[in-house]
Structure 1
Amino acid sequence: MTRPKRTRSRLLAPLLYLAALILLLEEWLWDSGKRLGAVIAGWPLVRGLDARIRALPPYAALCAFVLPAILLFPVKLLALLAIADGHVVTGVLAMVLAKIGGAAAVTRLYALTLPSLLTLAWFARWHGVFMAFKDKWVGALKATLAYRRTSRSVLGLRARWRRAIAARRRRAKGGRHSLRPTRILRRFAARWRARRR
């Protein structure tokens, strides 16, 4: 009895790590989207638009909530085509920007339209079912060893990345290395010429 369970857990382990990575990425995108949405919400034109979106009737609010997904689908499709055509960096960059922009739009629209959407009986029922389902499975995933390990690794990478950026900025302020593009290009050109000789 224990051997099939062990085999099954070994087979599922990579999927748990992948699910943990996806969940961490989605949480990061959601948090980044909230911060970006809060910054954009401070703009005078956007404040007026926010008030109009809050005042929308339920089905118009539903259309506004679904709109970013519909508008970003062609962008994501073009990004995939760019990757398939050999423009990997451009495609991945477009995909990441679309994900961050989409997360910002969805988090903002979710906050603005939710009160209106919850007046629809069917939406309120399915929203409750979905949130309960999501909370249950996210809680179960967060309780796994795979999630804890992945989370620690991601936090460690993030801390190293921040330390590296801080060290680079300190060096740039000290005058030894400049982050200005012209100096970087000059150094690169000098090294290139020295290598060609």
Structure 2
Amino acid sequence: MLARLIHALRTLGIWAIALLLLFEEWGWEHLAALLAWIGRLPGLRWVEGRIRSLPPYRALMLFAVPVLALLPLKLLALYWLGQGHVLLGLAVIVAAKVGGTALTARLFMLTQPTLMKLAWFARLFTRWMAWKTRMLDALRQSPAWQAATRWAHTLRQRLKAWRKVWAHRITGGAPTDRQ
């Protein structure tokens, strides 16, 4: 009985970590791209240039900014949760997570070349990436992932067919650009 419980908790933990890694992986790329686009604004280009030129340990300290900047928001969200404003509290927590991920991703992209000059950082980063790759590979090979992938593919195909039917109805049978 105890062995089953431990196995179930371990499996749940692995899935939780894997889903977090997937969010970070997806969010990292898309959100960093969004911030890179925003970073092309004239004033922000200067800021990004300054960040790129930081020495390694100052660049490392820069990662405290998102944590410290979002801490008051997260505390406010916990307060609202405690006051019974569940949706508001959860929305603020999700927004803080997305915003923090975006800012951290952009900061890392700007400072990675500098940070990799630190031997211990480069070693840890290499290990982290290898571990993350193994975790994501295991997740993608799991029956649950395979089933979810098939379901998502089917859903996309149905939505595509549905859009085609509705576009045909709206245009009165006239050909559309999407056909």
* TM-score of the two chains, using structure 2 as the length reference: 0.73
Question: Which residue type is aligned with residue 68 of structure 1?
Answer: P
Could you tell me the percent identity over the aligned residues?
41
- The answer as to whether partners of 2:27 and 2:101 remain within 8 angstroms in 1 is yes
Structure 2: state its 5+ residue gaps: 164-179
Question: Which residue type is aligned with residue 112 of structure 1?
Answer: L
Alpha-carbon separation, structure 1, partners of 2:139 and 2:64: 28
Q: Give CA deviations for 1:14-63 in whole Å, capped at 9, x if unaligned.
A: 66655554444333322331232122111111100010000001111001
Structure-to-structure mapping, 1:1-197, within 5 angstroms? 18-19=16-17, 21-153=19-151
Question: Which residue type is aligned with residue 46 of structure 1?
Answer: L
Corresponding pairs, count: 169
Instruction: Give SS of 2:138's match.
Output: helix
Alpha-carbon separation, structure 2, partners of 1:162 and 1:102: 34
**Residues 51 and 121 of structure 1: CA distance in aligned 2, closer, same or farther (over 3 Å):** same
Alpha-carbon separation, structure 2, partners of 1:132 and 1:116: 21
**Residues 53 and 162 of structure 1: CA distance in aligned 2, closer, same or farther (over 3 Å):** farther
**Residues 124 and 34 of structure 1: CA distance in aligned 2, closer, same or farther (over 3 Å):** same
**Residues 33 and 144 of structure 1: CA distance in aligned 2, closer, same or farther (over 3 Å):** same
Q: Name the larger-Rg structure.
A: 1
Root-mean-square deviation (Å): 3.7
- The answer as to whether partners of 2:21 and 2:132 remain within 8 angstroms in 1 is no
- The answer as to whether partners of 1:20 and 1:147 remain within 8 angstroms in 2 is no
- The answer as to whether partners of 1:72 and 1:98 remain within 8 angstroms in 2 is yes
Shift of 1:151: 4.1
**Residues 151 and 16 of structure 1: CA distance in aligned 2, closer, same or farther (over 3 Å):** farther
